[in-house]
Structure 1
Amino acid sequence: MNNLIIDKLIKVINNTKANNKKFYEEYGWEQLLHLYQQSLVTEYELKEIDFSNFDGWEKKIINNRIHAIYHINKNNSDKWIVGCHGYSSSKESSALSTYLFDNLGYNIMVFDFINHGESIDGYVSFGVNELNALLEVLDHLINNFQVEHLGLIGFSMGAFTVNLFSVADKNYIDKYKVKFTISDSTYMFIKQVFKTILVFSNQQFQDYVESFMDKIIEKYQKDYKINVLEYDIVKLIEKNEKTVPTLFIHSKKDLVTYPKDSEALFKYRTKISKQDQILLFDTGAHVKTQLEHTSDYINAIKKFLQSIDLLK
């Protein structure tokens, strides 16, 4: 019985393609991208973001695994921003969330994590598989495009992945020419995220989740060869020798990830980075502060980039 429950819980965690599968089959990624764009502009107006150059996205399939799309800036830039979406989201969503950087002179690359969007099936790990996917995308970008420097922006699960990248290996920063990261609505503890996702996904599992968390993580490691607890981001920060400036963004009203996690990471990182910044909004749903506080959000990013001499 217990094994059946564990399998069911893992299936719930990895039910991340169901929402968009039909859209991809009926419309394709291009139509989905423009449907998202039109919907957001209609609902939120987003006058602060110029979408006049929004056409021209191109598709890349990296290593026959990861589906990515990219957008070249009209000013022939060699600056890049790579966007990392959140749990159960996709490249089309992060394309829109990252598009403000087109107005700042950046080319844009976004992609589907494993078991999301159009990328291959697999297992969501909230960090390990996601970091590996990001590294594959960065390898492709560096090897196939002219890159003077690049930045990373992540949302929720993507934010954790970006945070992990910034402290996981000091060689990554120089290899991929990363100059900054932006962490929107991150979390600190992977085990807590597993629990949160399960409770949000189906209330009937609420009584089971706590008692089965260790068994779920054990099954990941034993059966799928994924140690979801491989990275302890606090320990990585403590032993880190090199990082890049990070801007943390969070809503104090976030009910999915905790703003205190962003505050704690910001505080921990003061030992290794004096150029980090943090912006906490008083209102806003999970990963929605850009839509609900667009001007302040964009101005914070501009201020951050100016402070590290990347925006004139």
Structure 2
Amino acid sequence: MKVIEKTPHKKTLNDGYHKFCFNWWRLLGMIVLFPLVYFWSKKYVKDFFTFTQTYQRSGLMTIDATTFDFNSFAVYQQDVIAKKLDQFNFSFSTEEIAAMKTATILNQHQDPISILYLQHSNSNKWVIGLHGWTENKYLGLRQVFYFYQQGYNVLTFDSVAHGLSGGNYTGIGYLNAQNLSDVIQWLQANYHPQEIGLIGNSMGAACLTKYLIDEGYQNPLVHWAVSDCGFSNLLVQFRYVMQYRYQHPWWLISFGLTKKFKNEIGFKLRKYNLLKQAKRLKDFPMLIFHGDHDDFVPYFMSKEFFTRKVKYERPGQSQLLSLLNVNHVEAISKGHQVYIAAIKAFLIQQERK
């Protein structure tokens, strides 16, 4: 799926956050050109909403001439090959594959959440992996693989309106933050974990951060989180993608965007702003990865969030690791050695507490 038409300048990727917020001249320009703004926005907002909601949830999928069921372990196996993670031995054994369990639980609205988990016989430490937009719980396994090798039990689940979980529309993680809370409650009730860590990429990274800000920071069992190329403000993220997808200034084509999502899904995009309550995480350690060539969720997203977060916390509690010449969700593959070394050091730091 081609997300954007033209990669922005590197300066925009690194320091462009405020380029996608209103200032006096953008407001004035929108007012002066309002007939054009209205005409273009009517077209592009509708198309963009459809774009955010159109992706595979079930059926057969083909990668490199191999066809398989999208909701099966085969999607993980093919993804490992496609991302060249097989060179790092990102393969579960036959015994581990056989030991994987799936289950369906219900969220607070009685909608299904499809989960996948794998346990060690002598561990009560857990890591929950949150997949990205258009993916599923099997693709979430790539994020938790290393942790399983280190002795953690691991769990992934299909996000709202992804895979076999319920929901007609994705809120790009906004709606899924409550599902994460429901999964953690289920885990606590059934397996009595000693500690829980979270890891997510892209949409999954933003989702876990929203959960932490909403309530997770108060849960003593949730000890740490790893965020890989997550966005910090969904409205700004959408404006960025629209500008480079449609090759028009965002303020000319996004009038009515928040209203469209409110009418169709029921939440206001402005509420999905992780910067406003970053102070709540002042005592919560996070390891944040982001590639400086990420042209889908630009580096400035993590940079802005990290800058807000560290204002309130003690030095060294959280880290932002920028990976040079790495694009979206490529930290685990192209930046693999640095990625694994940083996670290993981060876990040692948490164990010393």
State the TM-score, normalizing by the size of structure 2. 0.76
Q: Does 2:232 align with 1:188?
A: yes
SS in 2 for 1:290: coil
- Shift in alpha-carbon separation, 1:50–1:121, aligned structure 2, 3 A: closer
SS in 1 for 2:332: helix
| Structure 2 residue aligned with 1:216 | 257
Aligned pairs for 1:152-231 (under 5 A) are 152-169=198-215, 172-175=216-219, 177-198=221-242, 203=245, 205-207=246-248, 210-231=251-272
- Shift in alpha-carbon separation, 1:298–1:38, aligned structure 2, 3 A: closer
- Shift in alpha-carbon separation, 1:96–1:243, aligned structure 2, 3 A: same
Cα shift at 1:3: 5.5
SS in 2 for 1:90: coil
Unaligned runs of 5+ in 1: none
Cα shift at 1:166: 2.4
* Contact 1:255–1:286 (CA under 8 A) maintained in structure 2: yes
Cα shift at 1:198: 4.8
| Structure 2 residue aligned with 1:10 | 49
Q: Does 2:189 align with 1:143?
A: yes
| Structure 2 residue aligned with 1:90 | 136
Q: Please, what is the CA RMSD of the aligned residues? A: 2.8
| Structure 2 residue aligned with 1:76 | 122
Could you report, residue by residue, the CA deviation over 1:100-159 in whole angstroms, capped at 9, with x for unpaired residues? 101111111111111212222322223421212211222222222221000110101111
Letter of the 1:69 partner, please give it: L
* Contact 1:78–1:149 (CA under 8 A) maintained in structure 2: yes
Paired residue for 1:21, among 54, 59, 80? 59
Max Rg structure: 2
| Structure 1 residue aligned with 2:299 | 259
Q: Give me the whole-angstrom Cα distance separating, in 2, the residues matched to 1:307 and 1:35.
A: 32
Q: Does 2:316 align with 1:273?
A: no
Higher helix residue share = 1
Could you report, residue by residue, the CA deviation over 1:275-297 in whole angstroms, capped at 9, with x for unpaired residues? 10121111222111111122221
State the TM-score, normalizing by the size of structure 1. 0.85
Q: Number of residue pairs matched?
A: 302
Letter of the 1:9 partner, please give it: F
Q: Does 2:339 align with 1:297?
A: yes
Q: Does 2:66 align with 1:66?
A: no
Q: Which structure carries more relative contact order (alpha carbon 8 Å, separation 6+)?
A: 2
Letter of the 1:287 partner, please give it: V
Letter of the 2:329 partner, please give it: V
SS in 2 for 1:32: helix
Q: Give me the whole-angstrom Cα distance separating, in 2, the residues matched to 1:198 and 1:62.
A: 36
Paired residue for 1:100, among 119, 125, 146? 146
Unaligned runs of 5+ in 2: 1-38
SS in 2 for 1:133: helix
SS in 1 for 2:333: helix
Could you report, residue by residue, the CA deviation over 1:72-108 in whole angstroms, capped at 9, with x for unpaired residues? 12x5211011111111122111112221101111111
Could you report, residue by residue, the CA deviation over 1:196-227 in whole angstroms, capped at 9, with x for unpaired residues? 45567xx5x44496444341211222343222
Letter of the 1:10 partner, please give it: F
SS in 2 for 1:229: helix
| Structure 1 residue aligned with 2:10 | none
